[in-house]
Amino acid sequence: MRGEERHTIAIYVRISSEDDNDGESNSIKNQRDLLYEYINNSPELSASQVLEFVDDGYTGTSFDRPRMNDLLAVAKEGIINCIIVKDLSRMGRNYLDMGKYLEQIFPFLGIRFIAVNDNYDSKRNAGSLGSIEIPFKNLINELYSKDLSKKTTAAIRTLMEQGKYIGAFVPYGYCKNKDNKQQLAIDIEAATVVERIFKMYIDGASVTDIAKQFNKEGILTPAQHKKKNEINWYTPTNKRKLFWRNNMVSIILKDERYTGKMVYGKKGNGDRPKKEIITVKNTHEAIVSQEDYTKAQELIERKKLVRAPSTRKEHVLSNIRCGGCGDTLQRSSSRSTKFYCVRRRFTESNNCFSQRILVETIEIVVFESIKKHLEVIISVSEINEEKTRLKTNEREIVLAEIKTINQKLAKAKLKKISLYEQYKGGNVERQKYLKRVIECEDDISATSALMLDLEKRVQSVERIKDSEQVKNAAKYLALPKLTKKIYNEFVEAVYVYHKDKIEVFFKCQDEYAKIE
């Protein structure tokens, strides 16, 4: 290796929940220490720049991991020229994917790949991937992962049947027992609120009445309470958890775990067979008596029976949001259906959409916006179609250049092999051999870079007219009214600020925002 040449190394570290079975050996720290020790002990690599990529809690059966995606991105951009992992299973446990990266993608990108514990180095083992050893290890890793998945599932079911709590996030009203993480303990502050919800509902208050009262009193929502007390919690839309709503109250009223039971298998679409639902009694302290819970369920069912059937017709609109708080607007069930902000119903907010607006009003505004959007798509398509015609000849020329470069690259690689054979045969002196190899590697590197540049030029000749949106644009433009199909294909969301200010956001909006 020449003095002025340096590697840029990417070390990749991964652990998943299944690695708990392997003990401390697969921890992030241990993997990192092993890789840095390997680099520091290598005269060839010790002076290199090192980039770290760590995926914590991701399975190796799929390559779709956040930091793995980042690693592959910098690899394709040519930022790194070496990847080091503890062993092949850290990179991935999928036999076919591993083979594709080791045999095709990394060699094409000129990236050296090292698996320390497997004693594999693509620079040293060049050409040996066709042997049985590495493919066999990848296959074993994949089979191991599938077998472990089955064992993990069986172990989890056993814990469920024992009444152990295995969830990451505890139900509101509880926290994890400090002495036993698989058991729930009472969270006194939240449990008091749960008790009050059941009492108010049994005494005749509606779920909406309860939500309004809690907002008026400033009682923290479940998400706010857990965040304040640093209880592990999750919500994908924190913005919607800042005030009590009727559905929050309903969820609490229907949760049987408040009676001291552990229940698994009730969630999900549709009614599950009873044999799939696991219920274990007396696993933790109850917040609500079984009697009060049963009364609440009877009231819920009774209200369902007396509720008038909805006269609401099916509308084409979806994802209509308040321009103030960003929450989804609700539809009224009156004959002339209107949208309104539910937050205004439960709490006061000056920023929220404070009126009610007819569905038909929004449909007219959205349809007019879509028609203008379609006109832009057609215009951009026509311009890009003309640009594509102009680029066609250039594309053919570039493809011919790629073919020539491919031949040149193949010759350079054969020359490198030939030099080695001459050196081994004693026909070339060592110094002369090393000098020619360096020249040959420079030639291969320059040729590979030119190849990537040419391929990018080919990819730049895009045909926007081939997209489904462009194909349908002219046809949709002739339609007399808005349909659900058009809406779903083009509209991402609609924000209503007031009746005279409605903002429509389109899917792939940036694609047509400017003409390149």
Cβ 419 vs Cβ 436: under 8 Å: yes
Taking only the tens place, the pLDDT of each residue in 23-47 is 444 678 888 999 999 999 998 898 8
Rounded CA-CA distance 374/486 in Å is 11
Taking only the tens place, the pLDDT of each residue in 348-384 is 656 788 788 888 888 888 888 888 877 776 666 555 5
Rounded CA-CA distance 68/464 in Å is 30
Residue 50 to residues 11, 42, 214, 475, Cα–Cα distance (Å): 7, 14, 54, 54
- Of 51, 92, 97, the closest CA to residue 70 belongs to 51
Mapped onto helix, strand or coil, the DSSP state of residue 310 is: coil
Rounded CA-CA distance 445/437 in Å is 12
Rounded CA-CA distance 226/502 in Å is 35
Is residue 469's pLDDT more than 60? no
- Of 29, 138, 35, 18, the closest CA to residue 86 belongs to 35
pTM: predicted TM-score of the whole model, two decimal places? 0.41
In the chain, % of residues over pLDDT 90? 15
Residue 153 tokens, joined? 């599932």
Mapped onto helix, strand or coil, the DSSP state of residue 133 is: helix
Chain-centroid distance, C-alpha 282: 38
- Return the pLDDT at 313: 56
Task: Quickly count: other Cβ atoms within 10 Å of residue 72's Cβ.
Answer: 18
- Return the pLDDT at 516: 37
Residue 167 to residues 89, 170, 284, 299, Cα–Cα distance (Å): 27, 7, 14, 29
- Return the pLDDT at 514: 38
Return the DSSP state at 11: E
34: Cβ contacts below 8 Å, ≥ 6 apart: 86, 116, 117
Average pLDDT over residues 458-486: 65
Cβ 75 vs Cβ 111: under 8 Å: yes
Rounded CA-CA distance 169/244 in Å is 19
Rounded CA-CA distance 106/1 in Å is 20
Q: Tell which wins on pLDDT, 376 or 271.
A: 376
- Of 199, 188, 172, the closest CA to residue 257 belongs to 172
Rounded CA-CA distance 484/489 in Å is 8
Residue 20 tokens, joined? 């708990």
Average pLDDT over residues 282-288: 90
Mapped onto helix, strand or coil, the DSSP state of residue 433 is: helix
Q: Point out which residues pair with 112 in neighbouring strands.
A: 82
Rounded CA-CA distance 92/20 in Å is 17
Give per-residue burial for 114-147: e unless 16+ CB within 10 Å, then b. Answer: bbbebebebeeeeeebeeeebbebbbebbeebee
Residue 164 tokens, joined? 């152990």
Longest distance between any two alpha carbons in the chain, whole Å: 100
- Return the pLDDT at 488: 83
Rounded CA-CA distance 250/303 in Å is 13
Rounded CA-CA distance 104/113 in Å is 12
pLDDT band at 191 (very low <50, low <70, confident <90, very high): very high
- Return the pLDDT at 131: 44
Task: Quickly count: other Cβ atoms within 10 Å of residue 275's Cβ.
Answer: 7
Residue with token string 């005030």 = 243
Taking only the tens place, the pLDDT of each residue in 139-163 is 445 555 555 555 555 566 676 677 7
Mapped onto helix, strand or coil, the DSSP state of residue 264 is: strand
Rounded CA-CA distance 233/295 in Å is 29
304: Cβ contacts below 8 Å, ≥ 6 apart: none
The helix (H) or strand (E) run that includes residue 354 is none
Amino acid at site 245: R
Residue with token string 């709590």 = 165
Q: Tell which wins on pLDDT, 512 or 220.
A: 220
Cβ 265 vs Cβ 272: under 8 Å: yes
Average pLDDT over residues 434-462: 75
Rounded CA-CA distance 441/75 in Å is 19
- Mean pLDDT, the chain, rounded, equals 76
- Of 191, 16, 5, 215, the closest CA to residue 110 belongs to 5
pLDDT band at 508 (very low <50, low <70, confident <90, very high): low
